[in-house]
């Protein structure tokens, strides 16, 4: 005697689907975070290179805000150390870029602070 099992696959799908969706959104978030970090790191390298060639802090900040394409560039925090008044040839200049990133994975967004900040820096010698 065989029982009716027509709803079995629907029940299994209902149990597995939330886990699959959570994994999918988590992979998308991880890829977005990785891309954003790589882009911000490249922006920091290009920005510090401009500072190493003798640009002022305002020019460095504007260059960094124009370089990034992660969303709203006004949210980008640029820190230049030392300031242009204390910077001389042969010194080292460090540019630190910090950008807020929204996490969309449901359980991960509850654990991590919102917004999660991505921060990179780069150092070069002033010519």
pLDDT tens-digit series, residues 22-80: 999 989 989 999 999 999 999 999 999 999 998 999 999 999 999 999 888 899 999 99
What mean pLDDT, rounded, does the chain reach? Answer: 90
Nearest 5°: the CA angle 95, 53, 121 is 15
- Give the rounded percent of residues in the chain with a pLDDT score beyond 70: 98
- Kindly state the average pLDDT of the residues 111-115: 77
pTM for the full predicted model: 0.82
3-state DSSP assignment of residue 118: strand
Q: How far apart are CA 67 and CA 69, in angstroms?
A: 7
Task: Return the SS3 of 95.
Answer: strand
Give me the sign of the Cα torsion angle 104, 108, 28, 119.
Answer: positive
Q: What is the pLDDT of residue 59?
A: 95
Q: For helices 57-67 and 8-52, give the axis angle rounded to 10 degrees.
A: 150
pLDDT at 2 over 90: no
Q: What is the DSSP letter of 2?
A: -
Q: Over 80: is that where the pLDDT of 114 sits?
A: no
Closest CA to 124 of 66, 46, 59, 7: 46
For the chain, domain boundaries: 8-125
pLDDT above 70 for 1 = no
pLDDT confidence of residue 95: 96
């Amino acid at each position: 005697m065989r029982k009716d099992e027509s709803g079995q696959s629907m029940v299994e799908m209902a149990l597995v689907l939330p886990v699959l969706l959570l994994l999918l959104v988590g992979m998308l978030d991880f890829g977005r975070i990785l891309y954003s970090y790589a882009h911000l790191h490249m922006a920091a390298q290009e920005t510090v290179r401009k500072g190493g060639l003798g640009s002022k802090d305002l020019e460095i900040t504007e260059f960094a805000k124009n370089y990034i394409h992660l969303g709203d560039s006004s949210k980008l925090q640029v820190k230049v150390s030392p300031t242009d008044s204390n910077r001389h040839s042969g010194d080292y200049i460090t540019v630190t870029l910090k950008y807020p990133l929204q996490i969309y994975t449901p359980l991960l967004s509850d654990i991590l602070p919102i917004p999660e900040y991505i921060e990179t820096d780069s150092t070069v010698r002033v010519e």
